[in-house]
Structures are given as C-alpha cells and as structure tokens.
Amino acid sequence: MLGIPDSYSDYVAWEQLPHLWCAGCGHGIILKGIILSLGELDIPPHKALLASGIGCSGRAGDYVACHRFQGTHGRSLAFATGIAAAQPDLTIVALLGDGDAGAIGGNHLIHATRRNINITTVITNNYNYGMTGGQFSPLTPENSITSTSRSGKTESIMDVCSLVAEAGANYVARTTVYHVGEMHKFFKEAISTKGFSLVEVISPCPTYYGRYNKIGNSPEMLNWLKEKAIPLEKYNSLSQEEKQNFVWRGKLIQRSREDFISKYKKQQSAVK
C-alpha cells in the first residue's frame, strides 16, 4: 500500500538534510506523505509547488526540490491565489501550521475556500506554535496547558474542517500522523480534486504540547492520537458529553463546485 515511487528522490533536497524539526515531531511524516502522493500521481517536480507559511511547518520548503514558495505568516493562500491564477496547470500544495491557518491566516483561508481556488491545503495541527515556544493557537483544544495558558486555555477550539466545509471547499478531511495510510489516501484524493481541498493532520509536538499536558514523548503522543482520533461515523454516534473526549477523523465532504479560474474565464469570454 505504501510503495515508494521511483520519482520520490526527485522531490527531496537531500543536501539540505538533516532537517531542523525536533525528534518525534510529525512534520517529516506529513511532508513525506505529500511528496509520496505527488510521485504516485505522476506530477513531476516542475509541475508541483509547495507553498508554506511561517513556523515549524513553514520550513518544509527548505527540504523540497520542486518549486517552493514560503510567504509571510498566514498569507500563503493569498499568495497562492495569484500563483494559481498565473499558472493554472501547476499543482499547488499549501502546507500551513495551525496558527498560520487558523489565527493570522483565518481570513485568507475562508476566502481562498469560498473563491474555490485550485489549491490543496494541508494543515499540520500540532496544537501549538512550536517555533516560538509552545503558545496556544485557535486549534488548540480548550483547557490545554501551553506556555501562554499555564492554567488551561480559556478559549474554545476552532473546528477548521467544519469552517472550510461551510465556506465551500470541494474536499475536506482530517486525520493524524498515526493513521499514516489514511493520511496518504486523503492527500491523494485532495490533490486529485479540482478546486479547494483541505486535509487537517493532527501531529505530535512532544517538545511543548506533549510535555506541558503530561502526555509524554512522541510514542506516547502517537498512542494518544490513536485513541483520541476516532472515525467520523463513530464520533457522530456519541453523546455531546462523550464527544468532548474525542476528535473525529475521516472525510467530511467531497463535491465538485467549479473552481475560480475556470469559472472566471468562462464568464469573461461570454461577455467579449
């Protein structure tokens, strides 16, 4: 199932390794999943672009040999909107962190989705801002201990999947780095979907989130993800109270609204 395509090497900037991520971090698993998917879908490196933001996940662009764009914090989808308009045949994967996508880039996320820009967004949700020392983000669960919520996060969690599903995304799914086969399948489906697609991947940050919340190191965090993340159907069958202890994983939506550039070109040529 997880065969490595021959072209895998072509996407990796081997001379840039080792990477800067901490031992036990999930970002490498996610990046590898994206690269494997591109390879399996036969999208050559010069027809693929990784657009990242700021934070730990933002550094992913330093390790790829395909086209690479790293924007300002939270704005990657706005930059990618222009790239997608100029190069409609390019496969764009936007790799965002939870702060990137949910906080500073929340507005761009809503509107890139609503416009239905032909981009696949992957959110690496490690429940905190790892690069700056483990502060909580909008995607951090309520009551979590972080470096800026020592007695528990007051604010409630933002369900980014429901948000973009409501905003009009053509494909929305969530999984974790523990469920690597499922992650891989979702990536391939999302990249193959024309229009805006999004996969949220919950990923361990043993350096901060795991330590602050006494979950433990990476193996313990992976086990924790295994138990916490349950299939969507199962989650939906739980009572409101039981739901508080779990997070769903699975495919939330798949549809085929016409993407922005295709529709725009069609409308404009009708006027001419």
Partner 1 sequence: MKNMFIQGNEACALGAINAGARFYAGYPISPVNELSEFCSQELPKLGGIYIQMEDEIGGIAAVIGASLGGMKAFTATSGPGFSLMQENLGYAVMAEVPLVLIHVQRYGLGTGVATKPGQQDMLQARWGTHGDHPIIALVPSTVQECFDLTVQAFNLAERFSSPVLLLTDAAIAHLRERVIIKDAEELNIINRKTPSVSPDEYLPYAPDEKGIPTLAPYGGRHILRVTGLFHDERGYSTSNPEKCRKLLERLHNKILNHQKELPPPKYYGKDGAEIILISYGISARSAREAVERGIKKGINMGMINLQTVWPFPEEHILNLCNKAEKIFVVELNMGQITGEIQKILKGQAEVIPILRYDTNVITPSEILDKIESVVK
Q: Rounded to an integer, what distance in angstroms lies between the CA atom of residue 239 and that of residue 237?
A: 7
With binding defined as CB under 8 A, does residue 65 bind partner 1? yes
Stretch that binds partner 1, among 24-32, 76-84, 162-170, 224-232 (CB under 8 A): 76-84
- Taking alpha carbons only, the member of 168, 56, 209 closest to residue 123 is 56
Q: Rounded to an integer, what distance in angstroms lies between the CA atom of residue 88 and that of residue 262?
A: 9
Residue in 8, 69, 235, 246 binding partner 1, rule: CB under 8 A: 69
45, 66 Cβ separation under 8 angstroms: yes
139, 163 Cβ separation under 8 angstroms: no
Residues with Cβ within 8 Å of residue 80, at least 6 apart in sequence: 49, 51, 69, 92, 94, 112, 117, 119
Residues contacting partner 1: total by CB under 8 A: 40
Residue in 4, 9, 17, 72 binding partner 1, rule: CB under 8 A: 72
207, 20 Cβ separation under 8 angstroms: no
Q: Rounded to an integer, what distance in angstroms lies between the CA atom of residue 108 and that of residue 168?
A: 14
Residue in 56, 66, 222, 230 binding partner 1, rule: CB under 8 A: 66
With binding defined as CB under 8 A, does residue 2 bind partner 1? no
With binding defined as CB under 8 A, does residue 59 bind partner 1? yes
With binding defined as CB under 8 A, does residue 85 bind partner 1? yes
Give how far the C-alpha of residue 107 lies from the chain's centroid of Cα atoms, to the nearest Å.
16
CB nearer partner 1, residue 91 or residue 149: 91
216's enclosing H/E stretch is none
With binding defined as CB under 8 A, does residue 82 bind partner 1? yes
Residue in 39, 45, 206, 210 binding partner 1, rule: CB under 8 A: 45
With binding defined as CB under 8 A, does residue 272 bind partner 1? yes
What are residue 249's DSSP bridge partners?
Answer: 231
Q: How far is the CB of 131 from partner 1 (least distance, A)?
A: 12
Which residues, numbered 144-173, are part of the site for partner 1 (CB under 8 A)? none
Q: How far is the CB of 226 from partner 1 (least distance, A)?
A: 34
Binding site for partner 1 (CB under 8 A): 13, 16, 45-47, 49, 59, 61-62, 65-72, 75, 78-87, 89-90, 107-108, 110-111, 115, 261, 264, 268, 271-272
